[in-house]
Amino acid sequence: MNRYLTLSLVLGVILVAGASFAGSTLSVRLVEASNSGQGMGSGLADVSGLLRDNLPYKSFQLLTSRSLTLPANGTAALSGGMVAKCSGPQGSMNVVIEKGGKQVMQSTVELRDGTPLILGGFSSSKGKMIVILLAK
């Protein structure tokens, strides 16, 4: 009987872990973070606490928001000549950020449903550009 209980627990853990990678859409947002002004731009309510609590800036403005289908295999054209190229499943996604046709960042990331991932710190005229990835 203990063997069946153990097997049931293992299967339950696998099902729960698998559910965290069941998203169908990847949200890609380009945000400008700066100390000129204050406030959170529209379209950032779901990540406002994360940005305020973890980054040393007072103002966050959404510049571009795009969506890709998961598993990702596409390009999201962002503002200011920036592009996010994403490929692969959300548990092992390759992400390349380009600015002006030149690669500025490349990484393999693991995205959990509903947990935003902040990438970047790319220079801008007012502060820093960040990319927020979110699987839903």
What pLDDT is attached to residue 38?
A: 86
Mean pLDDT in the chain?
85
pLDDT digits (tens, 9 = 90+) for 39-75: 998 999 999 999 999 999 999 999 999 999 999 999 9
Report, as an integer, the average pLDDT of 82-104. 95
Report, as an integer, the average pLDDT of 106-128. 93
pLDDT band at 21 (very low <50, low <70, confident <90, very high): low
**C-alpha to C-alpha distance for 75 and 21, rounded to whole angstroms:** 21
What pLDDT is attached to residue 18?
A: 44
Copy the structure tokens of residue 24: 């169908």
Residue among 118, 135, 126, 136 at smallest CA distance from 47: 118
Copy the structure tokens of residue 124: 């801008």
Q: Where are the domains of the chain?
A: 23-135
What pLDDT is attached to residue 23?
A: 78
Angstrom CA distances, 62 to 11, 39, 79, 106, 131, stand at: 41, 11, 10, 22, 10
Model pTM score: 0.82
What pLDDT is attached to residue 16?
A: 40
Contacts of 8 (CB under 8 A, 6+ apart): none
What pLDDT is attached to residue 22?
A: 67
